[in-house]
Amino acid sequence: MMRFLPVNLDAVLVELDDLPQTLALLASLQADPIDGIEEMVPAARTLLVRYRPAKLSRAALLERIGARSLTAPVERTGTLIEIPVDYTGEDLDEVAQMLGMSRDEVIRRHTGSEYTVAFTGFAPGFAYLSGGDSGLNVPRRATPRTRIPAGAVGLAGPFSGVYPQASPGGWQIIGVTAVPMWDLGREVPALLQPGFRVRFIDMAGRPAWPSPAMARQPAAASIAVDPHGAALEIRSTGLQALFQDTGRHGQTGQGVSASGAVDQGALRAANRLVGNTSDEACVEIVYGGFQFVCRGEAVVAFTGADAPIVVTTVGGTSRSAPAYHAIALSDGDSLVLGTPRAGIRSYLAARGGFTIAPVLGSCSTDTLARVGPAPIAAGDVLPVRSVVRGAIVGLHEQPPADLPTMEQTVTLDVVMGPRTDWFTPEAVALLSSQVWKVTPQSNRVGLRLAGEQPLTRANAAELPSEGTALGALQVPPSGQPLLFMADHPLTGGYPVIGSVASYHLDLAGQVPIGASLRFNPIHPFGTP
């Protein structure tokens, strides 16, 4: 049986009875795609579907998904991955006690079954393995650890999994492996792909192997300057400066979310101003403080936050330059981007685009997944590609009129769901009636919010991991929401009470730390 739950104006969550139904629906949609579906994220009992409303109406989407069969068996691939494990995990004794078994019996059962990669999520290369011994069903830890090492082998509910890199986590750790789950040096970085078969091997009494390796990062892009092009020599980056484009789409099968610019409209506008395609990589700058010297002649543009721009020539003459206009720079000119008066994120585009190597098809830096180019640092030289004579440069763009400041309360429209009914009626009302403060712990992963009264749950059950969307308001046990931004995890285990409407996501990305937010539900919770 399918239940359709609202996620956003361009996404729905399909809830099913169990994992086999979820995988059957996914297999059906992959074998016979519905034109207009952009992305699918399978999980334990749900399938998150993001679609293009201009191509496919929601009513048509639900009708066509609802007609799919859930009974077809899902074929596994012939690929078998064997993973050697040192069963010395810090939770092994506790797991054995919970299950009324000896340590040896837990190990025997874990190595005695063949698993299947059901889906990926949580982190790049993190695979949820199903089909093991049904007796090894244990809950997540009541209090997640702040750090679990790379290679840790764990149990959570009916699933087994291996942490691809050091990260926080709540799984019960029973062992460790040296086999890298995620390696950007491989053609396909994720070792475990949906449908692969997996078997664990007990390494007790066998030769030792090196300690688990962290995922390898891509080599830094060459900084060789094109003799016919220009380059920007970075003097200061401010709080953070990253390469970002429109995102890393199509990688959910490896557990990688899209990432990309937090303010997509500003990114596209910056590129239009300098004559680039709208998806070219720009530099995303947080809270200004960015300085560079131009080597050669270049045309640049800044969009996003309302921040002062000062250009100084080699001779020492300074002038103010406007945002949302193309700025011509000569060899030796220096430019300073000051502290924003409104908004927090600025986007720097250069005519021709920056010479930067893409990773998995995108130049975006995903700060949570640690995928993409390294953060820009003082002393870096950013080469700019040469431009064919005659490329069109935009005259100007209209800056947004609603850039937020700390002095105002920003109102964001919200689509209620998919787990609104997991909260008390009082909590649902409180979401929109209360003012929420953006805390200093906020970043590209999410805005951490604080309200005088926390949101209380009506359903205290453990939510199986399910897909999460950009803009989701996930509520952890503290009752203080986290608004997921560009680098949010692909799946999550806490209920989402609602999501910021897609047309307000760029605005949310410009909200300063310390600002106040209100949420405005645009319709009551219910079926899409």
Please report the pLDDT score of residue 242 as a whole number.
98
| Same-domain status, 267 and 379 | yes
* CATH number, position 493: 2.40.100.10
d(CA 172, CA 174): 6
Angle CA 404–406–409, to nearest 5: 65
Residues of the chain with pLDDT under 70: 207-228, 388-392, 394, 527-528
Residue 89 lies in a domain: yes
Report the half-sphere exposure of 430 (CA within 13 A, side-chain side).
18
Matching residue, tokens 């924003």: 340
Q: Which of 66, 91, 118 is the last residue of a domain?
A: 66
Closest listed residue to residue 383, CA positions, set 177, 191, 226, 214: 226
| Same-domain status, 263 and 187 | no
Supply the pTM of this predicted model: 0.91
Structure tokens at 4: 């359709």
Closest listed residue to residue 182, CA positions, set 220, 129, 127, 130: 127
Structure tokens at 85: 């494990």
* CATH number, position 42: 3.30.1360.40
Residue 506 lies in a domain: yes
| Same-domain status, 307 and 348 | yes
| Same-domain status, 348 and 264 | yes
> Domain of 418?
409-521
Residue 223 lies in a domain: no
What pLDDT, in 10s, does the model give residues 80-107? 999 999 999 999 999 999 999 999 999 9
| Same-domain status, 257 and 376 | yes
Angle CA 18–20–22, to nearest 5: 70
What's the domain count of the chain?
4
Residue 71 lies in a domain: no
Angle CA 375–246–362, to nearest 5: 60
Please report the pLDDT score of residue 253 as a whole number.
85
| Same-domain status, 195 and 234 | no
d(CA 216, CA 189): 9
| Same-domain status, 261 and 196 | no
Residue 300 lies in a domain: yes
DSSP element (H, E) containing 197: strand 197-202
Identity of the residue numbered 518 = R
| Same-domain status, 245 and 350 | yes
d(CA 261, CA 486): 7
| Same-domain status, 252 and 373 | yes
Please report the pLDDT score of residue 146 as a whole number.
86
| Same-domain status, 59 and 90 | no
Contact 138, 89 (CB under 8 A): no
State the DSSP string of 371-438.
BSSPPP-TT-EEEE----TT-----B-PPPS----TTSEEEEEEEE-SSGGGB-HHHHHHHHHS-EEE
| Same-domain status, 59 and 102 | no
| Same-domain status, 92 and 167 | yes
What pLDDT, in 10s, does the model give residues 388-446? 665 667 678 889 988 999 999 999 999 999 999 999 999 999 999 999 999 999 999 99
Torsion angle, alpha carbons of 427, 512, 403, 338, to 10: 180
Closest listed residue to residue 365, CA positions, set 244, 216, 221: 244
DSSP element (H, E) containing 298: strand 298-306
Residue 221 lies in a domain: no
Residue 277 lies in a domain: yes
Residue 401 lies in a domain: no
d(CA 100, CA 474): 35
Strands 409-416 and 516-521: parallel
